[in-house]
Amino acid sequence: MNIDKKWFLEKANDFLRNNEANRMTGVDGSLFWEPDILLGFVSGDDPIFEKYKEVVGPKHLTPAEAYSKYCIKNGISATTDNLSVVAYILPMNSLTKKENLEYSKEWPSEKWAHTRFYGDRCNKALQDHLLEELEKEGINGLAPMSPKGVKKSDYPSNNYLFKVYNYEYSSWSHRHMCFAAGLGSFGLSDGFISEKGKAMRCGSIIVDYKLPSDAANRPPDTEPYNKYCLECGECIKRCPVGAISFKEGHDKVKCREMVTSTIPYINQNYHIPIYSCGLCQVGVPCSNGIPIKK
Binding residues for ligand SF4 (CB under 6 A): 187-189, 229-235, 238-239, 241, 243-244, 255, 258-259, 277-280, 284-286, 291
Amino acid, single-letter form, for residue 128: D
Residue 190 beta carbon to ligand SF4: minimum distance, rounded to whole angstroms: 8
**Amino acid present at 20:** E
Nearer to ligand SF4, 119 or 149 (CB): 119
User: CA 27 → CA 109, 119, 271, 282, distances in Å?
Assistant: 11, 12, 11, 20
Q: Which residue is nearest to ligand SF4 (CB)?
A: 187
Non-local (6+) Cβ contacts of 138 within 8 A are none
CB of 118 to ligand SF4, least distance (A): 19
- Give dist(CA 273, CA 113) in Å, integer: 9
Round to whole Å and give the CA distance between 70 and 144.
Answer: 8
The least CB distance from residue 100 to ligand SF4, in Å, is 10
Q: Which of 196, 181, 166, 162 is CA-nearest to residue 89?
A: 196
The smaller minimum CB distance to ligand SF4, of residues 42 and 290, is found at 290
- The CA distance from 267 to 234, in Å, is 29
Q: State in angstroms the smallest separation of the CB of 53 from ligand SF4.
A: 25
CB-CB contact of 271 with 92 (8 Å): no
For residues 70 and 146, the answer to whether their CB atoms sit within 8 Å is no
Kindly state the smallest distance separating residue 250's Cβ from ligand SF4, in Å.
6
Closer residue to ligand SF4, CB minimum distance, 37 or 282: 282
Nearer to ligand SF4, 211 or 277 (CB): 277
Least spacing, CB of residue 122 vs ligand SF4, in Å: 20
Tell me the pairing of strands 184-186 and 141-142: unpaired
**Smallest distance, ligand SF4 to C-beta of residue 226, A:** 8
CA angle at residue 128 from 275 to 225, to 5 degrees?
60
Q: What is the 3-state secondary structure (H, E, C) of 33-86?
A: ECCCCEEEEEECCCCHHHHHHHHCCCCCCCHHHHHHHHHHHCCCCCCCCCEEEE
Q: Which is nearer to ligand SF4, 125 or 236 (CB)?
A: 236
- Smallest gap, in angstroms, from Cβ of residue 240 to ligand SF4? 6
Q: How many CB atoms lie within 10 A of CB 116?
A: 21
For ligand SF4, the closer of residues 93 and 100 by Cβ is 100
Nearer to ligand SF4, 208 or 234 (CB): 234
CB closer to ligand SF4 out of 178 and 243: 243
